[in-house]
Structure 1
Amino acid sequence: MDKVVASAAQAVADIPAGAQIAVGGFGLVGVPQVLIRALRDAGVGDLEVISNNAGAGDFGLGMLLNTKQIRRMIASYVGESKEFARQYLEGELEVELTPQGTLAEKLRAGGAGIPAFYTITGSGTQVAEGGMPWKYAADGSVEIESPPKDTRVFDTFGSEHTYVLEESLAPDFALVRAAVGDRHGNLVFHRSARNFNPPAAQAARVTIAEVEKLVEPGEIAPDEVHLPGVFVHRVVELTAEQAADKNIEKRTVREA
């Protein structure tokens, strides 16, 4: 089945207001910039977005933050976006901070059909006990706080430990970026751009991938496929200019 669509705008056209969307990328690496821009231009709002981080400035999810199209974020690291911090602290944005490994596993479990799992991460903290501020009111008080989670004691490695029950994530849509993709949706990621893209794609009901290079079915050797096409529903081929649009989060150079 040929899954290639004509444009990013067409690929995201059916994403409704209020949708839950997983977005691949880590920092500014492997971010589906073109699809995010298309979603911004579509004007879809009230979104709940699952992503490791929230972009920086006007790159990545920063585009949707700047236009206030995101209502809620489930994220791990948010320290590179001043606008994110402002919206959160002023009560304009709800934020569920999640340990990074837990976030990855919540997506992986969702893709595997596992509804929940136990992890020791967060045990004995507000992650398990509740009370983390998810949303502030305009006056600075806490409007919504995280609820306590179920815990259970397991005897592991010869001693007892308390584990936290985490529910998996199965978003409505996922936006991901790959280095190479074929018309059947098989994807290859370039090095660290693999990051959160595969688990986000596997967890979603509808996955949309932008690819820097489009090839014909059979051109990607089976052993080189990082994400099978069964998890991908739409493919957008990027132009050379779009594929080259990659920012560096923090540039460090030696003195001459």
Structure 2
Amino acid sequence: MEKSYIIIYNIPVDRLEENLKNNNINRYIILNNTIVALYVDDSFNEDILDRIDGIIWWERSSVMSSLIELTNNLPNGETVRTAAGTEYIYKNPYITPTGKDIIIAIIDSGINYLHPDFIKSDNTTKIISIWDQESTLKPPPEGYLFGSEFTREEINEYIKRNDSSLSVDNIGTGTIAAGIAAGLGHGNSNYDGVAVDSELVVIKLKSYKDTFAKGKVNYEESDFLAGIK
């Protein structure tokens, strides 16, 4: 078993890394010039963190939950733009708010990349890359400790084969968020996203179970912060 910590430091990063390694802490992700996520064995004695030079604050990574229940029992849907109150923007003849040249990051449960709302008219994906934190198929992004990074080219190959196995959204919230933000409306033209011409970078968070309720999935703050990085 593994647990994680968020620490704040106030020394040069190379000195911090040296101090961590001198205390047998070798699994960490540098998030920025003040924050690091540590990943350690479940038997790790956290009192060590109080004795490492340069660490000025630390906490055990917090548990996160999307606190959402998905249902298909809604009799009538509502468009994203109506729900957000932004329909007037798209009726303005002087602007084209399509999200062109914009990249949107989705940090959630992953994405169903075979959904038609994320496949362009030339049968290629609008997803730039996926970091699946649970996958072991390929190496993680450079500088990270776990998961697999999948490129646009690899996603396109799986789309050609109609193969959903590269990375799977088992919960659905990530796919929903991506559809709200950038869906093309190919599945249903009434439900296109807010920024249809934007592109996506997707992080599928590592999932943990049974923290809040039996069978319910939750996430960790450290993995989420790594996704932001």
Whether TM exceeds 0.5 here: the answer is: no
TM-score by length of 1: 0.22
Q: Which has the higher strand share?
A: 1
TM-score by length of 2: 0.24
